[in-house]
């Protein structure tokens, strides 16, 4: 694990789901933008691999393997980070479920709501003291195109992501007086392990490359203090 260098001007990004897909691309993008990165995810080995990539490119990363649905683990993370300034909280971790409402068990529904909605709420609340230390803080939620158009067989996932959109908007309004921006970016199908599992054999030309999503997150986080944007989708023009 690489740790932060003694550079008081270096900005810090905490990225959930940093071990793969969109979160991994964002972690690499943040490090390339000279940010210190805090990598959150369930599987330590995946975070270690991303941290090693960042270190090999001259960046710094600290890994914090944890299950974001575990309240005690989130509380322990907040304690471990006490006094640290976080400039960007990027909530990329998520899980999916393709099933009809008839075939979605209560346990599956609870899991999808916990990981995609309740956990981002808990994390934002737990890390607000760190964000309040920044002179230009951002909370970016990774949503999904299902917040903008309804498709069948993803009712639990859609309910969670639309809930996350509500959370994002309400938090944006609540934190506006403190000039903390909160924005949800909702990708269409993206070229990640989640998509490969959900849509095996899909034509990759219709997928958004994760580095493109990372680029948009970084652009929003780089807006001047006091400036924000509304939530937006990001999708391939070849996808329909
Ligand atoms: N791929 C798409 O087409 C697409 C489209 C729109 C939106 N999204 C959204 O984009 C986000 C990132 O997805 P992705 O496509 O990059 O998928 P991914 O490669 O599967 O990444 C998901 C990440 O979330 C982490 N994660 C899942 N549950 C967790 C938990 N309970 N605690 C901590 N970490 C957890 C995973 O860690 P482990 O691997 O260690 O479990 C993994 O690193 C998700 O919110 C997803 O809903 C994806």
12-234 — its CATH code?
A: 3.40.50.720
Structure pTM? 0.97
The tens-digit pLDDT sequence of the chain (240 residues) is 445 555 778 999 999 999 999 999 999 999 999 999 999 999 999 999 999 999 999 999 999 999 999 999 999 999 999 999 999 999 999 999 999 999 999 999 999 999 999 999 999 999 999 999 999 999 999 999 999 999 999 999 999 999 999 999 999 999 999 999 999 999 999 999 999 999 999 999 999 999 999 999 999 999 999 999 999 999 999 987
Q: Is the CB of 41 under 6 A from ligand 1?
A: yes
Domain ranges of the chain: 12-234
> Which has the closest alpha carbon to 129: 165, 80, 162, 173?
80
Phi and psi torsions of 233, nearest 5°: -95, 165
Report pLDDT for 1. 45
Residue 121 is among the residues annotated as catalytic for this protein? no
Q: From the alpha carbon of 143, which atom of ligand 1 is closest?
A: 7
Residue of 38, 126, 145, 157 with catalytic role: 157
| Ligand 1 atom at minimal distance to the Cα of residue 114 | 31
| The pLDDT of residue 3 | 52
């Amino acid at each position: 694990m690489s740790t932060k260098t003694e550079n008081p001007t270096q900005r810090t990004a905490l990225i959930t789901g940093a071990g793969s897909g969109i979160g991994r691309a964002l972690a690499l993008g943040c490090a390339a933008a000279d940010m210190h990165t805090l990598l959150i995810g369930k599987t330590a080995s995946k975070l270690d691999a991303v941290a090693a990539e960042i270190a090999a490119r001259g960046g710094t990363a600290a890994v914090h393997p944890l299950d974001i649905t575990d309240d005690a683990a989130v509380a322990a993370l907040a304690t471990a980070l006490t006094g640290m300034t976080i400039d960007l909280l990027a909530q990329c971790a998520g899980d999916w479920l393709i099933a009809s409402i008839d075939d979605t068990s209560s346990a599956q529904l609870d899991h999808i709501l916990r990981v995609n909605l309740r956990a981002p709420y808990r994390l934002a609340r737990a890390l607000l003291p760190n964000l309040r230390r920044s002179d230009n803080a951002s909370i970016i939620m990774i949503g999904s195109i299902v917040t903008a158009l309804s498709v069948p067989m993803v009712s639990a996932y859609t309910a969670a992501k639309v809930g996350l959109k509500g959370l994002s908007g309400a938090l944006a309004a609540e934190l506006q007086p403190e000039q903390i921006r909160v924005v949800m970016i909702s990708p269409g199908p993206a070229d990640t392990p989640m998509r490969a599992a959900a849509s095996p054999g899909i034509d990759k030309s219709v997928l958004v490359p994760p580095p493109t999503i990372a680029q948009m997150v970084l652009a929003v986080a780089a807006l001047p203090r006091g400036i924000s944007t509304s939530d937006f989708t990001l999708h391939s023009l070849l996808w329909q």
